[in-house]
Amino acid sequence: MDKKRRPLRLVKKRQTAEHCTSRGYCLLSALDPGHAELLNAIIRTRGPFRAGDRIYRHGEPFDTLYSVQTGSLKTEMATREGRAQVSGFYFAGELLGTDAIGARTYPSDAVVLEQTWLCAIPARQFLDLCAGNPALQEQLLGRMGDRIRADEYGWMLNRNERAEQRLMIFLHDLYQRRVVRTGRRTTVVELTMRKEDIANYLGLTPESLSRTLRKLQEAGIIDSRLRAIELLDLDALSAADET
């Protein structure tokens, strides 16, 4: 399942927070200039990484959080039989590594899906900074809370819903996250991950995913292509996602 292990290319390239300031969905946005400067001083831009690169592996000492600048990643855990289990996908603006906070080591592997730039945030210094800055702490807690809620909600769905429903919710989630990230409402969702990863993430076999995609296609809800899916009936998808 893990084919090519290219060595990590850590191209160090000093850079300001230019990549972050433009978007509201960024940790820096909560900071006054003084604290932003402090945070800026400890973060480092890293990249480019290529598909298959592993940013960290489970069991390695946890010392760094990553903010995704451009590109995308998946995280995966190992089941006791040694199979990989995809536990999440991460896109630009999202924070990678939060599930390691409070632990000594990363609980999962982070695998790059396409050309990707990251922003490395030393965890120790960052958490100390949070301790002295209520606004930043609130940002961090907010994100962790979001994460807990999202996981819990996702878990709930996975227990109850059928494959078709889960897939619709997943697609709608991808769409929504891209709206939040980019503000654009294109109905074409690019798939930077393999279908196999999606199936794994949804708890389905690739065969079942394939059949389910076909079903949605026949229902006129999506147009499933190879590396992209066009969402033809957003209403149907968001209806699936309603609490």
Partner interacting with residue 155 (select from DNA, a copy of itself, none; CB below 5-8 Å by kind): a copy of itself
Stretch that binds a copy of itself, among 15-23, 145-153, 184-192, 215-223 (CB under 8 A): 145-153
Least distance (Å) between residue 127 CB and a copy of itself: 7
Q: Which partner, a copy of itself, DNA, none, binds residue 218 by CB below 5 to 8 Å per kind?
A: none
CB 136 within 8 A of CB 130: yes
Q: Indicate which single residue of 189, 224, 234, 236 sits in contact with DNA (rule: CB under 7 A).
A: 224
Residue 242 is a binding residue for a copy of itself (CB under 8 A): yes
Q: Are 172 and 129 in contact (CB under 8 A)?
A: no
Least gap, CB of 53 to DNA (angstroms): 15
Nearer to DNA, 107 or 206 (CB): 206
Kindly identify the residues of this chain, within the stretch 138-167, that bind DNA according to CB under 7 A: 162-164
196 and 226 Cβ atoms separated by less than 8 Å: no
User: What residues from 14 to 53 belong to the interface with DNA (CB under 7 A)?
Assistant: none
196 in contact with a copy of itself (CB under 8 A): no
The single residue among 209, 221, 222, 237 that binds DNA, judged by CB under 7 A, is: 209
Binding residue for DNA, selected from 8, 144, 204, 236, defined by CB under 7 A:
204
The verdict on 235 binding a copy of itself (CB under 8 A) reads no
**Identity of the residue, 65 or 191, whose beta carbon is nearer to DNA in the bound complex:** 191
